[in-house]
Amino acid sequence: MLITMSLMMIPPIMLPWVKHPLSAGFILLTEMTLVILSVGLASASLWYSYIMFLIMVGGMLILFMYMTSVASNEKFKFSWNIMILATTMMMWTSTTQTNDSWFQYIKITYTEEMTNLKPFFFSMNKFLNEPSFTLSIMIIIYLLITLIAVIKIINVNSGPIRHMN
């Protein structure tokens, strides 16, 4: 858990130096995967993190489609500066983790905090209880209506990903 949380600091630091949408999408996917891992480790059920992962992959597919339609012929340039920065950050993270006394202190503190929070552990039942169940149904209906409206508004024959006859 501690290693995951320390690795979560690396992608946001690298994001300002990225110029290509594909690189930014990969960094965003890496960061979200680390966040999903930490949420999955902290909660009693993995369903919430699984749903977050599926939503994120769907968003990344939309980003990839947009990128291929707008900048399809743009060359991807590999930046060695970003690679060196990522390697340096990962080496710094691994050297920080080797300090046994610091790691044991954090591990003991984290374990004590988690045992104190056991009654308040995350569960999917909270999302399906009465007050938030109504909100969930309203969000589902709103997303369905928005999807139908977008499908009716767009013209398939005039978009960037149309069939050429």
Q: pLDDT tens, 21-60?
A: 777 888 888 888 888 887 777 776 777 788 888 888 888 8
- Give the three-state DSSP class for 79: coil
Are 93 and 148 part of one and the same domain?
Answer: no
Task: Tell me whether residue 148 is in a domain.
Answer: yes
Half-sphere exposure of 1 (CA within 13 A, CB side): 14
Q: Do residue 142 and residue 77 come from a single domain?
A: no
Q: Are residues 30 and 98 in the same domain?
A: yes
* Residue 67 and residue 128 in one domain: no
Q: What average pLDDT does the structure give for the chain?
A: 72
Assess if residue 163 is contained within a domain: no
Whether residue 58 lies inside any domain: the answer is: yes
Q: Do 124 and 48 contact (CB within 8 A), yes or no?
A: yes
Q: Are residues 32 and 48 in the same domain?
A: yes
- Higher pLDDT: 38 or 124? It is 38
78 with 145, same domain: the answer is no
Q: What would the mean pLDDT of 95-120 be, rounded to a whole number?
A: 56
Question: Is the domain of 133 the same as that of 97?
Answer: no
How far is Cα 77 from Cα 79, in angstroms, rounded to an integer?
Answer: 6
pLDDT of residue 16: 78
Give the count of domains, the chain: 2
Confidence of residue 117 (pLDDT cuts 50, 70, 90): low
Give yes or no for residue 118 having a pLDDT over 70: no
The domain of 146 spans 124-158
| Whole-number percent of the chain with pLDDT over 90 | 1
Q: Is 30 inside a domain boundary?
A: yes
Same domain? For 19 and 92 the reply is yes
- pLDDT mean over 115-137: 62
Question: Are residue 146 and residue 81 in the same domain, yes or no?
Answer: no
Q: What is the pLDDT of residue 94?
A: 65
Which of 40-44, 92-96, 98-102 shows the lowest per-residue confidence on average (mean pLDDT)? 98-102
d(C-alpha 79, C-alpha 91), whole Å: 19
User: Do the domain assignments include residue 164?
Assistant: no
pLDDT band at 145 (very low <50, low <70, confident <90, very high): very high
